[in-house]
């Protein structure tokens, strides 16, 4: 989620070596993300890159599929939420303008619940149970929507954002992506295969029963893989 105008290059493709924010209408944004069952060193690095992107773009949050990762993870600058589940929404409704790093230049008033109870896991595999309100509750709802393949304009009456001229701005992004497809520089099939491999890598894991003895002489051992339970 973005509070102000994001500064992102026009068309972005998934780059797993150096994560970057993916723009609508890239198909990864419309796909539901899979629940994570383990956290390894690579995933830790990606999460660190996600948090850096939030800071660089002065954003409020970022979902994993916004950088091309098919996992149920979202981050803020300071927090990581793995396999988040909204357990309860209370306090009535509030309406406020929302932006999105994946839709630069588009801002729409969106109704959200004022208070949200969230269950998730942290990087250590520890369960988190928090109740948040205000802008933080809005960020949680926005990012969880992303993980379910929903954009924030899906929460608004289409006639409303059409009247606000948002369709024209969204249309520019759609035109850019259509040109990319026509150029042959983007292989949709290869992208979908990559997404499937990424999902399988961290969603079907079982603990290894034969663990090697750790090297006690190592000054700084690598971070262990952490099993993450699904809420």
- Both tokens assigned to 51: 């948090």
Q: According to DSSP H, which parts of 57-204 are helical?
A: 134-147, 158-163, 166-183, 188-203
Mean predicted confidence (pLDDT) in 165-179? 82
Instruction: Indicate if the pLDDT at residue 188 is higher than 90.
Output: no
pTM: 0.80
Per-residue confidence band for 71, with pLDDT thresholds at 50, 70 and 90: very high
Instruction: Indicate if the pLDDT at residue 7 is higher than 90.
Output: no
Instruction: Indicate if the pLDDT at residue 8 is higher than 80.
Output: no
Residue whose C-alpha is closest to residue 114's, from 135, 82, 81, 91: 91
Per-residue confidence band for 195, with pLDDT thresholds at 50, 70 and 90: confident
Per-residue confidence band for 192, with pLDDT thresholds at 50, 70 and 90: confident
Provide the residue ranges of all domains of the chain, joining segments of one domain with +: 27-188
Cβ atoms of residues 44 and 50 within 8 Å: no
Task: Report the pLDDT value the prediction gives residue 220, as an integer from 0 to 100.
Answer: 37
Q: Which of 143, 216, 220, 227 is catalytic?
A: 143
224 counts as catalytic: no
* Rama region for 58: left / alpha / beta (φ>0; ψ in -120 to 50; rest): left
Per-residue confidence band for 217, with pLDDT thresholds at 50, 70 and 90: very low
- Angle value at C-alpha 110, between 107 and 116, nearest 5 degrees: 130
Residue 36 to residue 34: CA distance in whole angstroms: 6
Q: What percent of the chain is predicted at pLDDT more than 90?
A: 49
CATH code of the domain made up of 27-188 = 3.90.45.10
């Amino acid at each position: 989620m973005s509070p102000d105008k994001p500064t992102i290059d026009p068309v972005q493709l998934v780059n797993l070596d150096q994560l970057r924010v993916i723009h609508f209408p890239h198909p990864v944004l419309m796909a539901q993300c899979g629940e994570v069952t383990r956290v390894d060193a690579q995933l830790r690095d990606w999460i660190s890159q996600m948090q850096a992107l939030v800071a660089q773009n002065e954003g409020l949050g970022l979902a994993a599929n916004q950088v091309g990762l098919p996992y149920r993870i979202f981050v803020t600058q300071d927090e990581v939420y793995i396999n988040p589940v909204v357990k309860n929404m209370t306090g009535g409704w509030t309406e406020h303008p929302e932006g999105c790093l994946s839709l630069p230049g588009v801002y729409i008033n969106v109704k959200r619940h004022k208070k949200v109870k969230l269950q998730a896991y942290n990087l250590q595999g520890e369960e988190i149970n928090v109740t948040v309100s205000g802008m933080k509750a809005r960020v949680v709802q926005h990012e969880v929507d992303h993980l379910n393949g929903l954009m924030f304009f899906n929460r608004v009456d289409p006639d409303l954002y059409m009247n606000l001229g948002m369709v024209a701005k969204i249309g520019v992004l759609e035109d850019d992506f259509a040109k990319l497809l026509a150029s042959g520089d983007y292989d949709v099939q290869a992208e979908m295969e990559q997404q499937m491999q990424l999902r399988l890598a961290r969603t079907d894991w079982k603990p290894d029963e034969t663990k090697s003895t750790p090297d006690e002489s190592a000054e700084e051992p690598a971070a262990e893989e952490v099993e993450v339970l699904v809420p």
